[in-house]
Amino acid sequence: MKYISTRGETPPIGFKDAVMMGLARDGGLLLPESLPAVDRNTLNSWRNLPYQYLALEILTLFIDDIPRLDLDALVERSYRQFSHPQVTPVRRVGDLYIMELFHGPTLAFKDIALQLLGNLFEYILTDSGSFMNIIGATSGDTGSAAIYGVRGKKGINIFILHPEGRTSPIQALQMTTVVEPNVFNIAVRGTFDDAQAIVKEIFGDLEFKDRYHLGAINSINWARVLAQVVYYVYSYCKVWKTGAESVDFSVPTGNFGDIFAGFIAKRLLPEGCINRLILATNENDILARFVREGEYATGGGVTPTFSPSMDIQIASNFERYLYYLRDENSEQVRRDMAAFARTGTIDLVQFKQRVQQDFAARSVSEAETIATIAEVHARENYLLDPHTAVGVKAAMELKSDERPVICLATAHPAKFGAAVQKAIGREVDLPPALADLTERESRCQVMDADVDKIKEYVRLHGLS
């Protein structure tokens, strides 16, 4: 399987190169040259597979430059740290299904992709005798999941910048209590945007980037999407066994990453298995507006909400869907993205019908988010985190009588205590594995939002 760029100006490369490249050299996003599809017989044979076995089967369809035995070991290592034997268990809650994606080490769904990505990086670097310094900025979830993905790994150092005092206390502790010698937490005196701008500037210094083999961990890496395809198929098989041939999924969305994995799963499985993907946004609703109106248009600034991991105005994975919407015409994608950079808009109204065959969308307000947490708790004695609540609310509104909906639960409620407190009048305890977080040793460097000082720090502590 070769990988190509949505913008068509990067020669086809293998999976391992695609993982190391992250963003394509021409500025586009990497995708498989052609999408594999599985038939009914194959799907039948997958029906009872444990998560890790199913993951291996699916990854094998997209990866042909890692021997199967090695891939098997990578998958095994990535998911054995999960606290639930099924990795992503599916529960019946009222008349919905909820797939819990928060049983990884940092209690958010990003672990599923970043555990695998960390192991892939280590494997590929060991093979080539090379090294990498990962640099990233985070407002919370991504940073901790990335740190847990690469802690203690050979050939990798990781530098994560977070805005000092502006993440939730638990999120900060999840990062700073990882004290392995290859992990460097930097609390920047400034905002998330300051931290992000510094990282961008460092990546823009190509000499520095090449010298220190800088690597990124953001959601545009193809391996992250691929890891997420697995749980769509896994949960489909679970619900299929109860008699449903066809399901909808409801996905709380920010960067269009998780839901794009659902789109790939829909294309992978036989026609009709996955009917529609319900795209749920918070008040930052660029994607919901796109599905409803056909125009992809930024709407001013980002509004802070109870579901901060979806407070996004420009969805970094959208270009991948655009590529399929444009019937794989990369020249047209280049034109669209250039127009978007200029005007903040891409006119896709002509595709509205097709988009609405794949997606239904709902933007969920702050009040609805809190009310949904309270309602589901009162009625079903089940506690949602605010991101999951956005998806559950959309599912309640858009569910059809013909088929079940599987809602993706993207974080453990204990991670977002303030919203939960507002909904039910108390916070929830952290799961046992994190109960002693405040007592653990922690390590963090507080620094000014000064790109030169931070580069100096990377020079001093980075691998080279």
Ligand X SMILES: *Cc1c(COP(=O)(O)O)cnc(C)c1O
- Of the ranges 190-198, 248-256, 319-327, 440-448, which one interacts with ligand X (CB under 6 A)? 248-256
- The CA distance from 263 to 276, in Å, is 9
Size of the site for ligand X (CB under 6 A): 17
What is the closest distance, in whole angstroms, from the C-beta atom of residue 390 to ligand X in the complex? 8
What is the closest distance, in whole angstroms, from the C-beta atom of residue 369 to ligand X in the complex? 12
- The CA distance from 119 to 77, in Å, is 8
Residue 285 found at the interface with ligand X (CB under 6 A): no
Residue 253 found at the interface with ligand X (CB under 6 A): yes
- Of the ranges 59-67, 257-265, 345-353, 450-458, which one interacts with ligand X (CB under 6 A)? 257-265
- Residue 70, classified by CB atoms within 10 Å of its CB into exposed (0-12), middle (13-18) or buried (19+), is exposed
- Helix, strand or coil, per DSSP, at residue 17: helix
- The CA distance from 312 to 285, in Å, is 9
- Of the ranges 54-62, 116-124, 252-260, 354-362, which one interacts with ligand X (CB under 6 A)? 252-260
| Residue from the set 291, 310, 337, 419 that interacts with ligand X by CB under 6 A | 310
- Residue 332, classified by CB atoms within 10 Å of its CB into exposed (0-12), middle (13-18) or buried (19+), is middle
What is the closest distance, in whole angstroms, from the C-beta atom of residue 439 to ligand X in the complex? 25
Cross-strand bridge partners of residue 276: none
- Helix, strand or coil, per DSSP, at residue 231: helix
Residue listed under structure tokens 């950079």: 341
- Would you name the residues annotated as active-site residues? 110
Residue 320 found at the interface with ligand X (CB under 6 A): no
- The CA distance from 75 to 80, in Å, is 9
Chain-centroid distance, C-alpha 73: 23
- Of the ranges 88-96, 195-203, 247-255, 456-464, which one interacts with ligand X (CB under 6 A)? 247-255
Type of residue at 273: C
What is the closest distance, in whole angstroms, from the C-beta atom of residue 392 to ligand X in the complex? 12
Binding residues among 321-340 for ligand X as defined by CB under 6 A = none
Element (H, E) at 445: strand 445-448
Type of residue at 360: A
| Residue from the set 111, 164, 258, 319 that interacts with ligand X by CB under 6 A | 258
Q: One symbol per residue from 139 to 178: x for binding ligand X (CB under 6 A), - otherwise; what is it? A: --x-------------------------------------
- Of the ranges 56-64, 151-159, 200-208, 255-263, which one interacts with ligand X (CB under 6 A)? 255-263
- Of the ranges 69-77, 148-156, 256-264, 368-376, which one interacts with ligand X (CB under 6 A)? 256-264
What is the closest distance, in whole angstroms, from the C-beta atom of residue 274 to ligand X in the complex? 17
Residue 372 found at the interface with ligand X (CB under 6 A): no
According to DSSP, residue 29 is labeled: B
Query: End-to-end distance of the chain based on CA atoms, in angstroms?
Result: 32
387-415 burial code (b ≥16 CB/10 A, e <16): bbbbbbbbbbebbeeebbbbbbbbbbbbb
179-214 burial code (b ≥16 CB/10 A, e <16): eeebbbbbbbebebebbbebbeebeeeeebeeebbb
Q: One symbol per residue from 396 to 415: x for binding ligand X (CB under 6 A), - otherwise; what is it? A: --------------xx----
* Nearer CB in complex with ligand X: 87/411: 411
What is the closest distance, in whole angstroms, from the C-beta atom of residue 307 to ligand X in the complex? 7
What is the closest distance, in whole angstroms, from the C-beta atom of residue 251 to ligand X in the complex? 7
* Nearer CB in complex with ligand X: 144/176: 144
* Nearer CB in complex with ligand X: 272/299: 299
Binding residues among 96-115 for ligand X as defined by CB under 6 A = 108, 110
| Residue from the set 118, 155, 252, 294 that interacts with ligand X by CB under 6 A | 252
- The CA distance from 97 to 238, in Å, is 10
Confirm if 359 and 250 have CB atoms less than 8 A apart: no
What is the closest distance, in whole angstroms, from the C-beta atom of residue 410 to ligand X in the complex? 3
* Nearer CB in complex with ligand X: 163/252: 252
Q: Which of 89, 136, 107, 100 is nearest to 437 (CA)?
A: 107
- Residue 69 has a CB neighbour count (10 Å cut-off) of 8
* Nearer CB in complex with ligand X: 136/257: 257
* Nearer CB in complex with ligand X: 119/218: 218
- The CA distance from 142 to 381, in Å, is 29
Residue 254 found at the interface with ligand X (CB under 6 A): yes
* Nearer CB in complex with ligand X: 88/219: 219
Residue 282 found at the interface with ligand X (CB under 6 A): no
Interface residues with ligand X (CB under 6 A) are: 108, 110, 141, 219, 252-259, 309-310, 387, 410-411
